[in-house]
Amino acid sequence: MSKSDYRNGQVNKKINTTKAILIAVSIIFILVMLVMPMIAVITYALQNGIEAYLKAVKDQYTIKALQLTVIATVSAVVINTIFGLFAAWTVTKFEFRGKQLLTTLIDIPFAISPVIAGLIFILTFGRIGWAYDFLQANDIKIVFAVPGIILATIFVTFPFVSREIIPVLNAQGKDEEEAAALMGANGFKIFTKITLPHIKWALLYGVVLCTARAMGEFGAVSVLSGHLRGKTNTLPLHVEILYNEFKLTDAFAVSSILVILAVIILIIRNIIEHKAKKAGEC
Amino acid sequence: MLMYVQLKNINKAFGNFKASNDVSFGIEKGKLIGLLGPSGSGKTTILRMIAGLEYPDSGDIYIDGVRVNDVPPSKRGIGFVFQNYALFRYMNVFDNVAFGLNVQKKNKKEIKERVLELIKLVGLEGLENRYPSQLSGGQRQRVAFARAIAPNPQLLLLDEPFAAIDAKVRHELRSWLKDMINKLGVTSIFVTHDQDEAIEVADEIIITNHGTIEQKGSPLEIYKNPSTPFVAQFIGESTVIEDYHKLKGFDQLHNIKKAVIRPEFINITKINEIKQYMSAAEEGVIEKISFRGSYLEVKVNVKGIILTVTRSLEDKIVKVGERVNVLIYRLYVFDDKNAYLLENPALEDNNSVFI
């Protein structure tokens, strides 16, 4: 073995060691932080047998909570998708004053703690809020009611869709749209024929992330809900109540619903990512 | 003469940057025009304003006698080929070319006939179902061209049509595009920063610099009679010389300090090789020789002035450090505003030597 071969061998060995350490650290971290707790949730949920598990899951309050979670999630996703498309389109296709400010404002929910978001709505629509008299006069209930929960969920998740689309639209530039406009295509045609096919995967990805976040939202919703069982309880809130009542098995059983939903979303996410990569290659 | 496209006193600024400064020119119907200038000279802005993709701050744009300032881009009857083609990447070649016709709601059969005819015209038969990402640069340009002319535009605008194509294919495409436009007879304007391209393709060249029009004329006119200092320096392989009066035969003109010289204005010969014009010849020393493929580029020092000369490979071999005779036929002198051609007076009595 010549000297340089020997040195190359040393370098290779070093690289291999680094690789092994990094992989080991990542795997151990994920095992300890994510996989173990998930296994714990499932084991606890099934601790008293499948009968007890099904009873907890089929409980009418659990079903009500699940329904509310689905309603809040669907509303948030639909509204944020529409808003996200508009915002992303505005920010990437037009030049105007305060564009930078708008982009920053979109990110506010990422920066503000959800509890504070909840308090903002209490201060706006609650008994001491400035909109209270108007709401009272028109018999509209927001705080401690379903609209409040939907509002809080929307607030917390609204950057997800636009954040995913903006980079894609930026990378695409304006040329294709301009070309289509020059040939006389109207805005709707340009959007459906040129822009939408391009952002399809990013949009879906944003929707998936938005769904995941909306389902798990706790802080903002907790402040606004008032914890009225069967009325304003979402799944995460229901889990907390059960837990505080020392009904551990029930709490974990209900949690497992959320875990299963999360796993389904992760699978969808992976499929989308895979397809998007494929679309990007051709 | 009635102009098909006319710009009158166009001004356009982006923030503090003046992209067009009182731009006025006219283009005759059926002509192929090259807008030539360095990057940032405002040529693309002019093209985009004609198309309606940008709006002038002041001034008027006329197409076919109609003021189009307030006419939306889609109603101006323009075909536009973008620099990077801007092909619709999620549509195949057929749908790309058909897009403009679909928007016009022509009937399906008519569209199909026209699209297939165009695809045949640009030589892409059999590739109708390919997507833009599956085509080469040259093929994409042909698709972009077909797409632009599909709705039968009266005016075709091309933004740097050859910039994204490799050198070999570019040559081929230049003559292809020129033939194609001549065949269709559509008035066309293309933007380029490459003078060879402009000279080879255009019927007429408009030279832009710092948002203004420097000169407009046929390629030959521009090449032979640059009318401004910028054009004199920009066109050809020009070397600026500060003290031209040192050279034999060129006395200093009043107020004029600078001159431009091109390789084709100079001839070098080995000492004692020429008999004619010995009195007009300078002596110089060869400083550098670079091989350029089909010719040699020689740098020769004459009285401290470095001149660039081209030399055929067939000529007698010269070496670095060798003393040679240098004949200068002419140069362009210029002041702040104008450029003038100055022939070497020592050669005037006998003009038989020409390159």
ipTM of the prediction: 0.76
Q: pLDDT (tens digit, 9 = 90+) per residue, A24-78?
A: 999 999 999 888 988 888 888 888 888 888 888 898 999 999 999 999 999 999 9
Task: Please tell me the number of Cα atoms within 13 Å of B346 on its side-chain side.
Answer: 16
Q: pLDDT (tens digit, 9 = 90+) per residue, B317-352?
A: 888 989 998 888 888 888 878 888 888 877 765 545
Mean pLDDT of A200-228: 89
Q: pLDDT (tens digit, 9 = 90+) per residue, B226-248?
A: 889 899 889 888 888 888 888 87
Position A210 confidence tier, pLDDT thresholds 50, 70, 90:
very high
pLDDT exceeds cutoff 80 at B276: no
pLDDT exceeds cutoff 70 at B252: no
Q: Who contacts B215 (Cβ-Cβ below 8 Å, separation ≥6)?
A: B205, B206, B207, B222, B226, B227, B228, B231
Position A281 confidence tier, pLDDT thresholds 50, 70, 90:
low
Distance CA B117, CA A216 (A): 58
With H, G, I as helix, E, B as strand and everything else as coil, classify residue B251.
Answer: coil
For chain A, list residues whose CB is within 8 angstroms of any CB belonging to chain B: 175-176, 178-185, 189, 193-194, 197-198, 282
Report the candidate in B190, B208, B157 with the shortest Cα–Cα distance to residue B50.
Answer: B157
pLDDT exceeds cutoff 50 at B355: no
Residue in chain A nearest B100 by alpha carbon: A183
**B74·A176 Cβ contact <8 A:** no
Report the candidate in B208, B194, B204, B260 with the shortest Cα–Cα distance to residue B232.
Answer: B260
Q: Which of A175, A184, A194 lies nearest to residue B104, judging by beta carbons?
A: A184
Mean pLDDT of B147-156: 93
Position B254 confidence tier, pLDDT thresholds 50, 70, 90:
low
Backbone phi and psi for residue B93, each to the nearest 5 degrees, phi listed first: -55, -45
**A184·B100 Cβ contact <8 A:** yes
Tell me which chain B residues have a C-beta less than 8 angstroms from the C-beta of A180: 88, 99, 103
Tell me which chain A residues have a C-beta less than 8 angstroms from the C-beta of B78: 182
Tell me which chain B residues have a C-beta less than 8 angstroms from the C-beta of A194: 88, 90
**A182·B134 Cβ contact <8 A:** no
Mean pLDDT of A235-246: 91
What distance lies between CA B343 and its chain's CA centroid? 26
**A179·B74 Cβ contact <8 A:** no
Q: pLDDT (tens digit, 9 = 90+) per residue, A143-196?
A: 888 999 999 999 999 899 999 999 998 888 888 988 999 998 888 999 899 888
**Residue of B14, B82, B84, B90 to mutate, testing the A interface (most A Cβ within 10 Å of its Cβ):** B90
Position B32 confidence tier, pLDDT thresholds 50, 70, 90:
very high
Q: Which CATH architecture has domain A49-279?
A: Orthogonal Bundle (1.10)
pLDDT at A3: 58
Distance CA B240, CA B262 (A): 9
| Terminal CA-CA length for chain B | 36
**B88·A193 Cβ contact <8 A:** yes
Rounded to a whole number of angstroms, the distance from the CA of A262 to the nearest CA of chain B is 32
Percent residues over pLDDT 70 in chain A = 95
Which sequence spans correspond to the domains of chain A?
Answer: 1-45, 49-279
Q: Are A179 and B144 in contact (CB under 8 A)?
A: no
Q: Are B284 and B302 in contact (CB under 8 A)?
A: yes
Looking up tokens 């402009």, which residue turns up?
B198
Report residue A131 as tokens: 């909109």
Q: Could you tell me how many CB contacts below 8 A there are between chain A and chain B?
A: 54
pLDDT exceeds cutoff 70 at A123: yes
Q: Which of B74, B88, B91 lies nearest to residue A182, judging by beta carbons?
A: B74
Q: Which of A176, A193, A282 lies nearest to residue B133, judging by beta carbons?
A: A282
| Terminal CA-CA length for chain A | 45
**If you ran DSSP here, which 8-state letter would residue B253 be given?**
P
Rg (CA), chain A: 24
Q: Which of A180, A182, A193 lies nearest to residue B51, judging by beta carbons?
A: A182
Element (H, E) at A277: helix A248-281
**Residue of A94, A168, A178, A182 to mutate, testing the B interface (most B Cβ within 10 Å of its Cβ):** A182
Element (H, E) at B61: strand B58-63
Element (H, E) at B25: strand B17-27
Mean pLDDT of B305-317: 88
Distance CA A114, CA A109 (A): 8
Position B274 confidence tier, pLDDT thresholds 50, 70, 90:
low
CB atoms near residue A213 (< 10 Å): 19
Q: Is the pTM of this model over 0.95?
A: no
Which comes out higher in pLDDT, residue A242 or B252? A242
One-letter amino acid at B351 equals N
What distance lies between CA B116 and its chain's CA centroid? 32
Rounded to a whole number of angstroms, the distance from the CA of B100 to the nearest CA of chain A is 5
Tell me which chain B residues have a C-beta less than 8 angstroms from the C-beta of A181: 73-74
Looking up tokens 């660039």, which residue turns up?
B308
Bridge-based pairing state of the strands B295-302 and B282-291: antiparallel
What distance lies between CA A235 and its chain's CA centroid? 15
Mean pLDDT of A258-265: 88
pLDDT at A157: 92
In Å, how far are A142, B41, B179, B190 from B33, measured between CA atoms? Answer: 66, 17, 14, 6
pLDDT exceeds cutoff 60 at A282: no
Position A6 confidence tier, pLDDT thresholds 50, 70, 90:
low
Residue in chain B nearest A181 by alpha carbon: B74
Among the residue ranges A215-229, B13-27, B40-54, the one predicted with the least confidence is A215-229
Give the strand order in the sheet containing B187-192: B78-81, B155-159, B187-192, B32-36, B204-209, B212-217
Q: How much is the mean pLDDT over chain B? A: 88
